Structure 1
């Protein structure tokens, strides 16, 4: 089942507090009545900034979306997986990885298939099998680029969306 979650405005960023700083409080206005009431203070918890460093997960939230389906966690998983992490590299490194992928496929798969596929004509025209091998390498690079684009656009759209659709797990998935 897919459900939608309305995104609330993000909380203010955590800040560092010194030990001598006074506690932050939310003062409610006092009503002057005949009865003497103590002022009510709502404390804002102090969250040290260091607890969110190095990709650590913030404290438990009331978000119903499972952790692995939350867009930020999908982004983290995608950015560290093969071959999607290539997009984070410099353009020259990205292009060289694509070139090596295409050339490797062309030499290791495309060329043997092209030479053995042309059984009777294998020595007459070496240009045709070479072009077939290069085409197979280009085809694999195209598939890799399209796959990376689709993966990044999916996660990017989920990060920018005001609502997040997710799959709920139930007894039929083996989890209760």
Structure 2
């Protein structure tokens, strides 16, 4: 049976397109490339935050931008993973939103699931670990700053009370 899904809507084609698109290529090039690019982006964000530390809203904006970008990466790969692992494909034959569903043949299902498990799932795991690491670092950093700030305020209050 011939696949009625248009070529550009097939999960494997969507995977290949995402894999080569701008902003997503470095996530598939292996751990060293991923770590290098992730470090570059983190350092750039950190430098911008430190240079512009006087403006709290800029730090918040850079954090929000970084979070949005990371979320976009994760959701893009998750969408492709779900399309590859699903036994059916929902697609549009024309631009009239006449949604059709096609059940994958065994050969296509096996091929898609192999790509999903061995190509896309490792990228999702790497992104998840990176998110956990980054956000735990940010939370620890903000807690540390809060503790330092609290200690400074407390010590200033003690000195002030001693003077009076």
Q: TM class, shorter-chain normalised?
A: 0.3 to 0.5
Structure scoring higher RCO (CA < 8 A, sep ≥ 6) equals 1
TM-score, with structure 1 as normaliser? 0.45
TM-score, with structure 2 as normaliser? 0.47
